[in-house]
Structure formats: structure tokens, C-alpha cells
Amino acid sequence: MAVVMTGNGPRALPEGGLAPRRASAEEIPVLDLAPMFGSDAAAKAALAARLRAACTDSGFFYLRGHGVPEAVVAAAFDAARYYFALPEAAKLAHHAGLSPHNRGYAGLLEENTDPAARGDLHESFDMALEVPADDPDVLAGKRLYGPNQWPDGLSGFRETVEAYHAAMRGLSRCLLAAFALALGLDEDYFDPRIGKPLATVRLLRYPPQTGEIDPRQIGIGAHTDYECFTILAQEDVPALQVLSAAGEWLAADPIPGCFLVNIGDQMARWTNDLFASTVHRAVNRSGRERYSIPFFFGPDYDTEIVALPGCTGPDNPAKYPPVGAGAYVESRFSATFDYFDGAVG
């Protein structure tokens, strides 16, 4: 049995090829977030129960009723297509390795999420919360805070991506309130921990793979995400595969109007593994380019990730030592991006 090393320890992988089985509605359910925008306590409780089941059973779910305008999402995808069509030299001028904060461009095979693989076949552009270089947290060396790198001469690009980032931050606050209810906590439990969140938008382009594919070099190798959760926007090109609890790869194909959400390692630690941080990968065999936009959301840099109330007990001790949110993500970046520890600024 093969394994992949994650920040929360080794995870077993099934043997076999790259073809998944289509996931059923029970395996990756569709949840409606609309009750969280209202005041109906019973409707919120019903959503929280479904959310708890989804996070416990699979760690993945589709999200509708999220309130993000389709125009905001469509504009972000248009910006991604425009950006990745730039000449290579123009993109390399703001390479992430030139930023001490892991912001900017990275090319094909520069990320390696699975340490046993040979690099991920995608290119990316990362931006996060815009924090000035003279901010006290930046001056204190908290590397995940800082200014973004932006390409020159792309009219509207920055404004479009920043608008998407703002929409995702708002959605994440609402979703985190639902997580609190799902864990039996007050709806505003997480609010003091997300004043300056570690929240990253990543634009991604996956070229198609044809013929015989080396399983060690696919769109993105088997991995778990690092933060609390990821909100993924997909268009109509399928590629994402989710590892079920039974050890089977499931296709998490796009559903129009829905985001796909998955639990990350920080939330798994916070819940003492009650909520599943699920292994996933992407293989683009569609014959077309694939664009996707994940939004990685985590708490403030100095937030301590330690088992939440109700997630431990006499027969269920804490599985992980306390760790700072920022320090944890930095450790994962160091393991994933060759350029992270060598960044200059």
C-alpha cells in the first residue's frame, strides 16, 4: 500500500490507475448555506447537522445558496485565462520566489504536493490578504503576511482578483459560523480568530494530459490541504478526484452554481480528527485546458490550533500538540515549494 505524507501524518493510498468512480450524492452531498443568512434557528440547526455529517463522513461537500454573484466568479475565471496567456517572461517577472510571502507566479512542476511524486503539472498565481510592508506583523517576520505581487499592464486584473478575494472572505466567515454550530459551539465562536485571516486565492491552469500518464506527474498529486477549509470554484472541465473513506478514488465533477468545499488539516486538528481532512488529487484527461480557483482559508497567524471544546474526552485524548496557525502553514509551504525557503525580498 502506497502512502502520502501530510502535515498530520502518513495517509494510505490505493494501488491502481488514475480512473475514478463518479461520486454519488450521498458520498459528496450538496448543502445549501442560505439559512446562515437568515434568523431561523431551526433551519440553521438542520444545516449544521448536515454539515457535521458531511465533514465527518467524507470531508467534501458542494455548496449552493452561498450568495456569491456569478458575475464575480466568471470575472475571476476570465482574469485567469487572460493572465496565463501572458508570455512566460512577463509571468516570471513576479515569480513567487521573488516574494518572501509566497505571492505571485509559479510554473509547471514547481509545486510538489506529494513528496513521492515528480512535480505537479499546473501553473499558478497566488495572492492573499494585502498587508503593507511596514505592518507590525510583517516587520515581526510573520511571512504569510505581506504585500502581493501584481503583473504590470493588466488593466482590471488586480481589481477583479481582489474582488473575488473579498467575496470569498465574506463567504468564509459565514461558513465558519456554520462550522461552529456543527461543533456545538456558539455561532460567533471563531470571530475573534479571523480578524486578519490567512486567506489565499490561487488561480490555476492545468494543461491536458493525453496518452499514457505517469501517475507520479499529474495535475496535482495526492495531498491534503493545509488550512481550515478550501472553497473551490470549477468550470465545466472535470479533473478533481477525492479519496473516499473506503480507499476509492471518486470523481468530484463540477456542479453549476456550486462551490466545492473540503476540510483542511488545521480543521482536522481543531476537531481532533472528528472532521476529515481528505486526500485528493487532480488529473486533467479532458483534452482541454482546465482552470480552477481554490480559496484557502485559515485563522489569524498567531491563532493556536488545539483541540476545540467537545472534541476530546477521557477515551479520546488530543491527537496533536498545539501549533500556531501561521507556523503550521509555513512548515507545509517549506515542504511543498522549493522556492519558499529561498525567497528573497
Q: What's the pLDDT score for residue 342?
A: 58
Q: H/E element holding 55?
A: helix 41-57
Angle at 134 between CA 136 and CA 157, to 5 degrees: 115
Within a domain: residue 323?
yes
Domain assignment present for residue 26? The answer is no
Question: What burial class does residue 34 get, using C-beta atoms within 10 Å of its C-beta: 0-12 exposed, 13-18 middle, 19+ buried?
Answer: middle
- Return the pLDDT at 344: 42
Q: Is residue 9, in this structure, part of any structural domain at all?
A: no
| Cα 241 to Cα 140: distance, rounded to the nearest angstrom | 39
Close Cβ partners of 152 (under 8 Å, ≥ 6 residues apart): 93
pLDDT at residue number 336: 81
Give the pLDDT score at 345: 39
What is d(CA 317, CA 206) in angstroms, rounded to the nearest whole number? 41
Residue 17 belongs to a domain: no
Residue-level pLDDT at 291:
98
pLDDT score of 119: 87
In a domain, 244, yes or no: yes
Quick check: 276 and 59 in contact, CB under 8 A? yes
DSSP state for residue 290 in the 8-state scheme: E
Residue 345 lies in a domain: no
- Assigned C-alpha cell, 229: 477549509
Domain range for 223: 31-336
Domain assignment present for residue 304? The answer is: yes
What span, in angstroms and rounded, lies between the C-alpha atoms of 145 and 291? 26
DSSP lists the bridge partners of residue 177 as none
pTM of the entire structure? 0.96
Per-residue pLDDT of the chain (345 residues; tens, 9 = 90+): 689 999 999 999 998 889 899 999 999 999 999 999 999 999 999 999 999 999 999 999 999 999 999 999 999 999 999 999 999 999 999 999 999 999 999 999 988 888 888 889 999 999 999 999 999 999 999 999 999 999 988 999 999 999 999 999 999 999 999 999 999 999 999 999 999 999 999 999 999 998 889 888 999 999 999 999 999 999 999 999 999 999 999 999 999 999 999 999 999 999 999 999 999 999 999 999 999 999 999 999 999 999 999 999 999 999 999 999 999 999 998 888 877 775 443
| Complete DSSP assignment for 83-145 | HHTS-HHHHHTTBGGG-TT--EEE-TT-B-SSTTSS--S-EEEEEE-B--TTSHHHHTT-TT-
CATH number of the domain enclosing 188: 2.60.120.330
Give the whole-angstrom CA distance, residue 285 versus residue 57: 28
Structural contact between residues 231 and 259, judged by C-beta atoms closer than 8 angstroms: yes
Residue 152 lies in a domain: yes
Which run of H or E residues covers position 32? strand 30-32
Give the CA radius of gyration of the chain.
Answer: 19
Q: What is the reported pLDDT for 211?
A: 86
Task: Count structural domains, the chain.
Answer: 1
291 Cβ contact partners less than 8 Å away, ≥ 6 residues apart:
77, 80, 81, 84, 203, 204, 205, 206, 235, 237
Provide the pLDDT for residue 115. 81
